[in-house]
């Protein structure tokens, strides 16, 4: 059960394993893009390519869906980047329902563990497999695997790294369950209360706070790049309007005597608390993503004013 590329990669690993994948559950097809063409999830595309039955319920308690799901006679459900399941679904298979989560639970429970780990400046993270229960990301842990977060990594890079790690861990977990070799361990709820969570990221979470330190801003941009992306605003003086920019790559400049925004040939420098941030890759609202060097060819920074 899953939707995006991350889940499709785990499905691919299971298809290559000794286990028999009997079906797939994924999101319903939806119109997307400017042409509003019907979009199929990455998981559905892979399932069809491998001639697997595909279920796409609008409602997970729909009787027809539940009957079709039961008819697959799966021993185990594997969930990756999907929806919260009702008990009638996760309790269905004999060997239970497992989930792969992109953090070292109970740390970073929630929808955006990859983003928040980088935003918060973590040096390591990992993946966890656990049994699903009635509360999100709280079930008994089966296996975990750690990995380092390198200073140059952004959320996209960490996503790909954890996707590879998660595929291997999921297969190991299914192997262990099939052979009755794993012992599930309850999560420490007292510890969980003290650890950071990973809630869904909204637009207001993406706005760069220029009163923070260079290190904090760099982590913020890294943690949101390339998606959903950090954002900032400049005032376009001639049009007297506030323009949004998505910011993809920055570096910290720890000290500077200048307090105003300025540019070199390939970077734009913005003052923050205790230093400056050099922006090298961004996207002006209504235009394509480009390097700052490219942007400066057709735009003059003097025509814009910094806006917190």
CATH number at residue 149: 3.40.50.170
Same domain? For 156 and 247 the reply is no
pLDDT at 154: 98
CATH number at residue 270: 3.10.25.10
pLDDT at 106: 98
pLDDT at 33: 67
Same domain? For 93 and 148 the reply is yes
Helix pair angle (42-49, 5-16), 10° resolution: 30
DSSP bridge pairs for 306? 234
Average pLDDT over residues 105-120: 98
Q: Which of 115, 243, 252, 98 shows the shortest CA–CA distance to 175?
A: 98
Helical segments of the chain, H only: 5-16, 42-49, 63-71, 87-90, 113-119, 155-178, 189-194, 203-206, 214-224, 292-298
Residues 24, 52 contacting (CB under 8 angstroms): yes
Average pLDDT over residues 37-63: 95
Q: In this model, does residue 38 exceed pLDDT 90?
A: no
The CA dihedral of 120, 184, 175, 28, to the nearest 10 degrees, is -60
Among 164, 194, 224, the domain boundary falls at: 194
Q: Around Cβ 131, how many Cβ atoms within 10 Å?
A: 18
pLDDT at 66: 98
Same domain? For 190 and 207 the reply is no
Residues 164, 149 contacting (CB under 8 angstroms): no
Same domain? For 96 and 59 the reply is yes
CA distance 3 to 163: 14
Same domain? For 125 and 57 the reply is yes
Task: Please state, for a pLDDT cut of 90, what percent of the chain lies above it.
Answer: 90
Looking at the 3D structure of the chain, how many domains does it have?
Answer: 2
Give per-residue pLDDT as tens, 194-216. 999 999 999 999 999 999 999 99
Give per-residue pLDDT as tens, 162-185. 999 999 999 999 999 999 999 999
Same domain? For 98 and 236 the reply is no
Same domain? For 114 and 255 the reply is no
Among 161, 194, 227, the domain boundary falls at: 194
Give per-residue pLDDT as tens, 113-139. 999 999 999 999 999 999 999 999 999
Question: What is the domain range of residue 67?
Answer: 5-194
pLDDT at 116: 98
Give per-residue pLDDT as tens, 241-291. 899 999 999 999 977 667 789 999 999 999 999 899 999 999 999 999 999
Same domain? For 162 and 277 the reply is no
CA distance 50 to 59: 25
CA distance 7 to 26: 10
CA distance 213 to 198: 22
DSSP bridge pairs for 129? 100, 143
Among 194, 221, 252, the domain boundary falls at: 194
CB neighbours of 176 closer than 8 A, spacing ≥ 6? 142, 143, 182
């Amino acid at each position: 059960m899953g939707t995006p590329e991350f889940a499709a990669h785990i499905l691919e690993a299971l298809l290559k394993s000794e286990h028999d994948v009997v079906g797939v559950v994924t999101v319903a097809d939806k119109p997307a893009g400017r042409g509003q063409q019907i979009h199929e999830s990455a998981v559905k595309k892979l399932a069809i390519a491998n001639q697997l039955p595909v279920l796409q319920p609008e409602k997970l308690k729909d009787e027809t869906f539940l009957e079709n799901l039961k008819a697959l006679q799966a021993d185990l459900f594997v969930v990756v980047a999907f929806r919260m399941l009702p008990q009638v679904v996760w309790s269905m298979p004999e060997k239970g329902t497992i989930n792969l989560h992109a953090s070292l639970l109970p740390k970073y429970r929630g929808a955006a563990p990859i983003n928040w780990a980088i935003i918060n400046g973590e040096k390591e993270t990992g993946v966890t497999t656990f049994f699903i229960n009635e509360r999100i990301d709280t079930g008994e842990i089966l296996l975990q695997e750690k990995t380092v977060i390198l200073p140059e990594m952004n959320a996209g890079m960490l996503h790909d790294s954890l996707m590879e790690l998660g595929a291997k861990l999921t297969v190991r977990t299914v192997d262990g369950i099939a052979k009755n070799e794993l012992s599930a361990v309850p999560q420490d709820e007292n510890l969980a209360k003290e650890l950071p969570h990973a809630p869904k990221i909204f637009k207001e979470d993406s706005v760069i706070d220029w009163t923070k330190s260079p290190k904090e801003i760099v982590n913020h941009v890294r943690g949101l790049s390339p998606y959903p992306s950090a954002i900032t605003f400049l005032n376009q003086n001639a049009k007297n309007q506030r323009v949004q920019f998505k910011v993809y790559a920055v570096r910290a400049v720890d000290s500077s005597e200048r307090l105003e925004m300025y540019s070199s040939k390939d970077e734009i420098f913005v003052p923050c608390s205790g230093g400056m941030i050099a922006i090298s890759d961004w996207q002006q609202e209504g235009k394509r993503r480009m390097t700052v060097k490219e942007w400066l060819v057709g735009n003059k920074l003097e025509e814009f004013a910094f806006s917190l």
